[in-house]
Chain A
């Protein structure tokens, strides 16, 4: 049996001298190409449904809302499957392959709303299935004291893909005058390339345990893991949802509505550039500490929106803060939880944390919606800033 160095404590103070492993770079490249493919489709889908198929927005809303819960559950299933079969790469490949096939499903489904809904559902399922095993592979391929940096590098590459996807898609639409089929075919090509890269260039890291775990809730019974899940969820409920933040910034800073599509790019670019250095910092000073610090930065951003400080500088500060928040929390959380979970159930454990966080953030967005309707936008940001401050204090003391 491979003896993993489970829970030798969060590395504090130890500088990492390790290089980023080829597996991590490989998985990062796979994520980059896949995100180009996925975001291409996401970006053009509303236009395609309305002007390509003549389907109304009304139906699109129903299609989209349907799958949020399903993705969360499939993520757990994917994580568990990866652990049980002890083949995270195979399960991840299945997830990536499934999503790749759906890209061709869009033109084939024609104008059938049910068909398009099914295709979107299968695509989301593929995404849900691959996330847990992929992150488990990153932890298996990386020495513990370099996990933060490894996840940082992976998330930077991932975000680069998400940034490029919509640009590629709308560039193609512009060039070929609304030829949606080309967008889907190019998206399919990218997805296939990602599957080929994963299958042939990325090696499954060694060090998978021998004993096959049954399906159990043992992962959650561990005190430290449970603490991480609960605190992550608590912090997640206190976040407002990205779109609300962008609209909030635009309104409070008094920017023209036409710049709104560009605001998410500022966040993503900051996230991309900061992910690796912040991950390295987290390895040195402690990942949970950096995770909480990210929420403190987000708190400051909420306060800026709440006090409605106008102008471009305020908007830039809020968006930079938002990007830094992602850099401090996304990969860093996985790097923090990874070593807490025994290796044989690692994919399941990571999937639990991600699912809890995703559901909590979705709930947070809904709650913010209620607050914003009752209080109007700026005061609602004030309330969420206060909630976030309380949650961070709890997270730091517990």
Chain B
């Protein structure tokens, strides 16, 4: 009998302690959601509390954010396990909400503001990867036409002139050109990765070059910033699409992010829970843009 009383007391004590802890965390100052100025030219990022920030304003809760031409895309986890949602805002407020299976990974808006695209991570659906491996799915949505592609896996992949129908193909990191029809992304299969150029008209993805991950088109549309993998280390590079010239950037440390062009000369990225920038020319050195921040974007 004594044991039961002791047990009941202990269980109650733990429950109360847990409830108090959660209560304290819940009542901590959490800023209300403000509307952001999507044309201000300012830096937009996700802060360490998981909220979108722009100068002094606090926006929605997101894991990844991007802005272009007055359209903001927010990719975030939901209250349902293993589900993400893509929320699109414009100056009038929320415009679209889609749900996807997987954890948030990348989000982008086309330079025109007409298309949003995303990548999610999924656990355990890779065929040969075994325990703990992940696969990715990249999709896009055209806000003007309603054209929705849940996965690039529905497109035809052509690698070095040969159609690739392997089951282990994964896609990530879509980046759009100004024409709203052409895009680039990373395709992976059989341990290799390729930069692919895709077309919404033909639904064909054509390999351009090997070893290019998380591509990001420059504002002038002539260069691609990406991460280059060697072993377990990713390093930022910039590829000139016309000349094929490829230069390693001055950031020598491991970067796992889809780079973002601040303008035609600087590339920004998240590393070690902070946003950094480095010259796109390969010269200079990394500079801290904002501490306690991730997923940089520019409201232009």
Contact = CB atoms under 8 A, between A and B. Distances in A.
B103 A177 contact: no
A6 interface: no
Interface in A186-224: 186, 189, 192-193, 196-197, 199-201
Contacts of A365: 130
Contacts of A256: 150
Contact of B130 (A65, A170, A260): A65
Given A65-B131, A68-B131, A185-B21, A197 B11 contact: yes
11 contacts: A46-B134, A54-B271, A54-B272, A57-B134, A60-B134, A170-B77, A171-B79, A177-B49, A182-B21, A200-B6, A257-B137
Most buried by B among A47, A175, A261, A373: A261
Interface string A348-387: 0000000000000010011011101100110000000000
B22 A201 contact: no
B63 A261 contact: no
Interface stretch (B12-20, B180-188, B240-248, B280-288): B12-20
Interface in B132-167: 132-134, 137, 150-151, 166-167
B10 A63 contact: no
Interface in B195-232: 232
Contact of A200 (B3, B18, B81, B151): B3
A46 B130 contact: no
B34 interface: no
Given A169-B81, A373-B127, A257 B132 contact: no
B270 to A, nearest CB: 7
A63 B79 CA distance: 26
B125 interface: yes
A372 B167 contact: yes
B25 A257 contact: no
Nearest to A246: B125
A256 B150 CA distance: 9
A174 interface: yes
Contacts of B25: 176, 179, 181-182
Nearest to B51: A177
Given A65-B130, A377-B167, A200 B99 contact: no
Contact of A258 (B4, B30, B99, B134): B99
B236 interface: no
Interface residues of A, number: 64
Contacts of A108: none
Nearest to A59: B232
A271 B188 CA distance: 37
A115 interface: no
B81 A196 contact: no
A61 interface: yes
Contacts of A172: 22
- Interface of chain A: mostly helix, strand, loop or mixed: helix
Contacts of A68: 131
Interface in A239-288: 243-244, 246-247, 256-262
Contacts of B126: 369
A57 B22 CA distance: 28
A61 B134 contact: yes
Interface in A152-170: 166-167, 169-170
A377 to B, nearest CB: 7
B103 A47 contact: yes
A179 B6 CA distance: 32
B101 A259 contact: yes
A377 B167 CA distance: 9
B123 interface: yes
B77 A63 contact: no
A101 interface: no
B124 to A, nearest CB: 4
Contact of B14 (A192, A246, A259, A262): A192
A182 B25 CA distance: 7
A56 interface: yes
A58 interface: yes
A167 B81 contact: yes
A170 B22 contact: no
A68 B12 CA distance: 36
Contacts of A178: 49-50, 61, 63, 77
B30 A373 contact: no
A196 B294 contact: no
Given A185-B18, A200-B10, A257-B151, A177 B131 contact: no
Contacts of A366: 128, 130
Residue among A63, A200, A366 with the highest chain B CB neighbour number at 10 A: A200
A274 B61 CA distance: 40
B103 A50 contact: yes
A20 interface: no
Given A189-B17, A258-B99, A166 B81 contact: yes
B133 A61 contact: yes
Contacts of B80: 170, 261-262
Contacts of A262: 80
A46 B121 contact: yes
B131 A373 contact: no
Contact of B30 (A57, A177, A200, A372): A177
Interface in A12-69: 43, 46-47, 50-51, 54, 56-65, 68
B275 to A, nearest CB: 12
A68 to B, nearest CB: 5
B132 A65 contact: yes
A365 B105 CA distance: 26
Nearest to A377: B167
Contacts of B41: none
A173 interface: yes
Contacts of B61: 177-178
A58 B81 CA distance: 21
Interface centre among A50, A111, A256, A372 (most CB of B within 10 A): A50
B14 A193 contact: yes
Contacts of B166: 373
B109 to A, nearest CB: 20
B114 interface: no
B18 A189 contact: yes
Contact of A170 (B79, B150, B273): B79
A369 B127 CA distance: 4
A244 B128 CA distance: 11
